[in-house]
């Protein structure tokens, strides 16, 4: 019977399939020392993990590499977590890493990551919860070791930048098992006395293990609940602790924290002068624009418009007055004519008119008009009214 012959690709594919189906190889933790480390421009990391007698190739793709909290380098002793599989093209197997932790700190890192995830989910890292750091505080509280370079650096930086520095130091342990307790006590003391405007928690650089006291849950909650704004200045720029994430502001170093709290005095003076000049220029430009606007208004027809309106109204009033006068004159003439007609009629009926034609009116001395002969008797005195006066007569 003829033996079946397989291609290299088929054999490599089969081996890969065997590897991929193995549950042990799908999730394995391996301890070793990094060698031949290379960071590719794509962001992928390539290295070899070795012990005293063997080596294994490893690759960490960009998505997982970006999540690393520290830098890999040759000689670092680490524990890697990932999947062992076959690279078909070369027929070699390698570890596809998902996570890398320094050897001996795996449990600490796990605790750190778990606490970080828990507090972040609760909102303790929320930017909207951060309190504003006051500008030019009257007094600054510093929680740090009372001896060492950190407090000296803070004092040197602040006094150099601003001559009215007012620092209040709360001595605390910054390394060892009592770190969290003493820092918590310092925060509580400052909040109780309410005698500072901002608090700086400061410590110099160190290993992850040295800084682990600042990854305490109780400390994180105390920082979050503080009424006074807190700046975290723990470690160096590449060091991150839970204290950094929950504080209102993170400074890369203690010296940088001092610079953030106290501005350069000369910079303040310079900014004031610059702002003053800008304001003066702005006011001058504003006034000039308004002057130009007034000049444009004067030169435009808009200025003449009110006068034109007044003239039009005056002409209209004159026309109305003239028309009214004509109407009144006409009515007066009509009334005068009608009056004369009435006067003529009244005059025609007037007794004086009758008297002028030769008639007279006879009255008794008491004024009674005599219309009949019987109204008189002999020797009665009467008054006869004629057109030009009165005549006294006696009846015979």
Check pLDDT > 80 for residue 36.
Answer: yes
Q: What is the pLDDT of residue 105?
A: 59
Neighbours of 27 (CB within 10 A): 11
- Integer CA distances (angstroms), 185 to 4, 178, 196, in order: 78, 11, 15
54 burial type by CB count under 10 A (0-12 exposed, 13-18 middle, 19+ buried): exposed
Kindly list the domain boundaries of the chain, sorted by start residue. 8-104, 111-125+138-263, 266-296, 352-394
Mean pLDDT score of the chain: 86
CA gap 138, 355 in Å, rounded = 123
Q: What is the pLDDT of residue 317?
A: 87
As a whole number, mean pLDDT of residues 126-146 equals 91
Say which residues have a Cβ less than 8 Å from residue 199's Cβ, sequence separation at least 6. Answer: 140, 141, 142, 143, 186, 187, 190, 226, 228, 229, 230, 231
Check pLDDT > 90 for residue 96.
Answer: yes
Q: What is the pLDDT of residue 352?
A: 65
- Integer CA distances (angstroms), 227 to 130, 138, 140, 220, 298, in order: 11, 16, 14, 14, 60
Yes or no: say if 122 and 225 are a contact pair by the CB < 8 Å rule: no
Q: What is the pLDDT of residue 302?
A: 54
The residue with tokens 């682990």 is 212
Ranking 17-21, 100-104, 281-285, 364-368 by mean pLDDT, the lowest is 100-104
Q: What is the pLDDT of residue 303?
A: 54
Q: What is the pLDDT of residue 272?
A: 81
Say which residues have a Cβ less than 8 Å from residue 73's Cβ, sequence separation at least 6. Answer: 34, 37
pLDDT band at 126 (very low <50, low <70, confident <90, very high): very high
CATH number for the region 8-104 comes to: 2.40.50.140
Q: What is the pLDDT of residue 29?
A: 93
Instruction: Identify which of 99-113, 188-202, 266-280, 364-378 has the greatest average pLDDT.
Output: 188-202
Percent of the chain whose predicted confidence (pLDDT) is above 90: 35
Angle (nearest 5°) at CA 326 between 324 and 327: 65
Q: What is the pLDDT of residue 140?
A: 93
Yes or no: say if 35 and 47 are a contact pair by the CB < 8 Å rule: yes
**pLDDT, tens digit, 9 for 90 and up, residues 177-191:** 889 999 999 999 999
Ranking 85-89, 358-362, 371-375, 392-396 by mean pLDDT, the lowest is 358-362
Check pLDDT > 90 for residue 163.
Answer: no
Q: What is the pLDDT of residue 82?
A: 93
Higher pLDDT, 385 or 49: 49
Yes or no: say if 165 and 199 are a contact pair by the CB < 8 Å rule: no
Q: What is the pLDDT of residue 170?
A: 94
**pLDDT, tens digit, 9 for 90 and up, residues 224-262:** 999 999 999 998 887 889 999 999 999 988 888 888 888
Higher pLDDT, 150 or 266: 150
* DSSP string across 224-259: HH-SS-EEEEES-TT---HHHHHSSEE-SSHHHHHH
What architecture is domain 111-125+138-263?
Answer: 3-Layer(aba) Sandwich (3.40)
* DSSP string across 155-220: HHHHHHH-TT--EEEEE---SSTTHHHHHHHHHHHHHHHT--SEEEEEE----TTTTGGGG-HHHH
């Amino acid at each position: 019977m003829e033996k079946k012959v397989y291609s290299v690709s088929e054999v490599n594919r089969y081996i890969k399939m065997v590897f991929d189906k193995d549950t042990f190889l799908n999730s394995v933790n391996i301890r070793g020392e990094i060698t031949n480390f290379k960071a590719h421009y794509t962001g992928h990391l390539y290295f070899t993990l070795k012990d005293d007698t063997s080596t294994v190739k490893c690759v960490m793709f960009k998505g997982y590499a970006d999540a690393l909290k520290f830098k890999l380098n040759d000689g670092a002793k680490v524990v890697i977590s990932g999947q062992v599989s076959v690279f078909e093209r070369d027929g070699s197997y390698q570890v596809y890493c998902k996570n890398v932790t320094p050897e001996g700190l795996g449990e600490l890192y796990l605790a750190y990551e778990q606490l970080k995830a828990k507090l972040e989910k609760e909102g303790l890292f929320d930017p909207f919860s951060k309190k504003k750091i006051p500008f030019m505080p009257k007094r600054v509280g510093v929680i740090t070791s009372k001896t060492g370079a950190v407090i000296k650096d803070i004092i040197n930086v602040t006094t150099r930048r601003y001559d009215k520095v007012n620092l209040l130091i709360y001595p605390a342990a910054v390394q060892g098992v009592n770190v969290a307790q003493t820092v918590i006590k310092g925060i509580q003391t400052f909040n109780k006395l309410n005698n500072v405007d901002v608090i700086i928690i400061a410590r110099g650089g160190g290993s992850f293990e040295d800084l682990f006291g600042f990854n305490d849950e109780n400390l994180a909650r105390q920082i979050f609940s503080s009424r006074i704004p807190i700046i975290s200045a723990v470690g160096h720029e590449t060091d991150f602790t839970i204290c950094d994430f929950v504080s209102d502001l993170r400074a890369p170093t203690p010296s940088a924290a001092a610079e953030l709290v106290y501005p350069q005095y000369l910079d303040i003076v310079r900014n004031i002068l610059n702002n003053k000049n800008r304001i003066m220029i702005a006011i001058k430009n504003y006034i000039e624009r308004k002057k130009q606007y007034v000049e444009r208004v004067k030169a435009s027809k808009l200025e003449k418009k009110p006068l034109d309106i007044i003239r039009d109204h005056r002409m209209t009033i004159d026309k109305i007055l003239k028309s009214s006068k004509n109407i009144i004159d006409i009515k007066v003439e009509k009334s005068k004519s009608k009056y004369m007609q009435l006067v003529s009629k009244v005059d025609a009926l007037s007794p004086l008119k009758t008297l002028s034609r030769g008639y007279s009116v006879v009255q008794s001395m008491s004024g009674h008009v005599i219309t009949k002969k019987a109204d008189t008797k002999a020797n009665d005195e009467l008054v006869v009214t004629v057109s030009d006066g009165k005549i006294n007569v006696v009846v015979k």
